[in-house]
Amino acid sequence: MGRHAAVLCALAVAFATPDVADARPASKGWFAEGGLGAVNFLPPRASRGAAIGPSLGVRIGRDLFSWLSLNVHVAASSHEATVPPPPEGEWFQLYRGAADLRLTGRFDRIALYVEGGAGLVMISSNVLGKLMITDPGEEFGLMFGGGGGVEYQLENRHYSIGVGVDAFFVPQFAKMSGLDSRAFLRYTY
């Protein structure tokens, strides 16, 4: 009788214990994202004239649906100019600002996304004029870009971390193009 009572108690406890709740869904709504990474220019001319440089970016946006968000972002990167002397040891900064749409597919805590948009770019120096990438006095240009990445939702449903790569193209700067690779932290309100 003692053995049957132990089995019955074990079954009662097993069925009386509530199911473990699924992970909380990711937050939706307004969000802010900050990222650190590096920008590398793609061939032909821009990659010969500029070294890989560190980048910093901020993105704010709104999730319109669980799978679609509208974003604006600004980013800056700093690069050593690798042009023939003189001058030597010159640096320039590339400032980018754009609006884009992001499509997201969520699989439990993992989300994959693709994004694309357009904006403006500003270069801080004409040092790349030696390679005929920029014209004299040319500082601003249109930028088109797109990319993708993956993010992981942390235990707190408002936070996620991720990695992403965005490609950009600036037709005015001798068809300058590059890749911005970054790691980011996202907070959704």
Question: From the centroid of its chain, how far is CA 39?
Answer: 12
Of residues 8 and 168, more confidently modeled = 168
Give the integer Cα–Cα distance in Å for 187 and 189.
6
Q: What is the pLDDT of residues 113-157, one digit of tens each?
A: 999 999 999 999 878 877 777 777 888 999 999 999 999 999 998
Q: Say if CB 149 and CB 167 are below 8 A apart.
A: no
pLDDT the model gives residue 88:
77
Domains of the chain in start order, with CATH, are 28-188 (2.40.160.20)
pLDDT the model gives residue 13:
55
How sure is the predictor about 164, in pLDDT bands with cuts at 50, 70 and 90? very high
Q: How many CA atoms within 13 Å lie on the side-chain side of 94? A: 33
How many Cβ atoms from other residues are within 10 Å of residue 86's Cβ?
Answer: 7
Residue 82: pLDDT over 60:
yes
Residue 169 forms beta bridges with which residues?
A: 144, 177
Percent of the chain whose pLDDT exceeds 70: 85
Mean pLDDT of the chain: 87
pTM > 0.95: yes or no: no
